[in-house]
Homo-oligomer: A and B are copies of this chain.
Amino acid sequence: MRITAPIILPCDEPCSVLRDNAIDIDQDGRIVRVGPIADAPPADGETVALPGLLMPGLVNTHAHTPMAMLRGLGGDLPLMRWLQEVIWPAESKLDAGDVHTGMVAGCVEMLRGGITTSVEMYFFIDAVLDAVLDVGSRVVLTPGIIAAPGWDRLGTWEYLRDEVSERIDAHGIRFGPGDRIELGYGPHGAYTLPVEALASVAEHAKARDALVHIHVAESAQEDLEQRAAHGSVPALLDKVGLLDGRLLAAHAVQLSDEDVALLGARGAAVAHCPGSNAKLAAGIARTTALRRAGVRVGLGTDGPASGDDMDLWAEARLAGLMARVSSGDAAALTAAELVLMATRDGAAAIGRADIGVLEAGRWADLVHIDLADAAFIDPDDDAQLLSNLVWAGGSRLVRDVWVAGEQVLADREPTRVDRTEATTKLRAAAARLHS
């Protein structure tokens, strides 16, 4: 298949703007060529001529998407009270069916905002994976491993760890059509697991080269406790061996200069969630310092319970606004840097060289953006185009989405599931859980 577009953003370095280019995609759904239409060899199969802008699918590096039916619950509470008084009690009523329902609705919402891949920390593994395969999106599922009060109904942390290890041993870390599924480990946080659990998960993950996805220094309370006990959360992660492997630190708000330097030196990655961090009054992560220290920084929506909408374009804008207002530097993150953070950098943060950039060899995860919108005042000018895309454009302009070469969103509607039905089921689950 060949797709042509007047503008293609491959999201390579330094965010080039290609005009009148074509993308050739093989039967498996991988890109075989990105180049000028004028020089293209004869197309292999059908040619689709798109009128808008084509770019890679966005990578959401931190989410708990099945919580869609808890959207906005307890919206005016700080993190620890919100978790303990509202969210954990509500989650205790969720069953596998609810998780499937929430994940389907959330994946549809993400596709409509151009997110093709999300990194999910959640429970009920089969329900999450079935939902992703139903909608046709892509997931890195790091099932939650937790030992906090009330969570023992799911099993001990050893049981939750082994559930992941056994699946990886059976399937490998990536599997499914178009490698749509990757499995990793989701130890919840340093404040919800004993030290030996963190060390054990580090060993299991390292043996399998799997991603470890963990909440790090999100709130001041967590940070204070961990500093008193272990020096800091990053110092603890280092001590237990988690920085030896693939480590994705979600939030990473409360970091000292030493913590930043340690994460950089050990090649860790951060999932930056500016919206959730601001809404829960957790703080502003130090993205500029982290990037300067060599930490790979991607963007995350967090779950819909605290992040409300699953909108990575909104997070990109917020990342820029928060970096600027906290540093006093109006060029702290440019439009080009924010586009890359939502795509290429997100893929790099989770150690994926097969998505996030449009180039030969990667999966054809594509987003088609409406260029006719008044957001774009001068699409012929590269700088203006990127500025308008990030600052005045966003999710509402996403028209079509492909994952591994398969169209999964067409004119804003999912191709595999019915959106109205997904919403109806979501509301029924919400009404039951709230009652």
Residues of A within 8 A of B (CB): 68-73, 75-79, 82, 105, 108-109, 220, 275, 277-284, 304, 308-309, 314, 318, 320-322, 324-325, 327-332, 334-335, 372-378, 380-381, 384, 387-388, 391-392, 395-396, 419-420, 422-423, 426-427, 430-431, 434
Contact = CB atoms under 8 A, between A and B. Distances in A.
8 contacts: A68-B374, A71-B388, A73-B387, A279-B321, A281-B325, A281-B330, A308-B387, A308-B392
Given A278-B324, A324-B278, A384-B434, A422 B308 contact: no
Contacts of A282: 325
A283 B330 contact: no
Contact of A380 (B71, B73, B431): B431
Contact of A377 (B71, B220, B284, B381): B71
Contacts of A381: 434
A279 B434 contact: no
A325 B284 contact: yes
Given A372-B423, A423-B372, A431-B378, A328 B281 contact: yes
A313 to B, nearest CB: 11
A392 B331 contact: no
A82 B374 contact: no
A388 B334 CA distance: 30
Nearest to A274: B321
A330 B82 contact: yes
Nearest to A335: B75
B392 A71 contact: yes
Question: Which of A284, A374, A430: most chain B CB closer than 10 A?
Answer: A374
A396 B431 CA distance: 24
A349 to B, nearest CB: 23
A72 B388 CA distance: 6
A391 B309 contact: yes
A377 B431 CA distance: 8
Contact of A374 (B105, B275, B375): B105
B330 A391 contact: no
B325 A277 contact: yes
Nearest to A69: B377
A427 B379 CA distance: 9
Nearest to A220: B328
A206 to B, nearest CB: 36
B330 A430 contact: no
A339 to B, nearest CB: 13
A337 to B, nearest CB: 10
Contacts of A384: 72-73, 434
B377 A430 contact: yes
Contacts of A321: 275, 278-279, 318
Nearest to A320: B279
A193 to B, nearest CB: 25
A127 B423 CA distance: 45
Given A69-B377, A374-B105, A434-B381, A391 B325 contact: no
Contact of A396 (B68, B71, B277, B396): B396
Given A75-B391, A377-B430, A378-B430, 8 more contacts: A75-B334, A76-B334, A82-B330, A108-B374, A278-B325, A280-B330, A372-B423, A374-B422
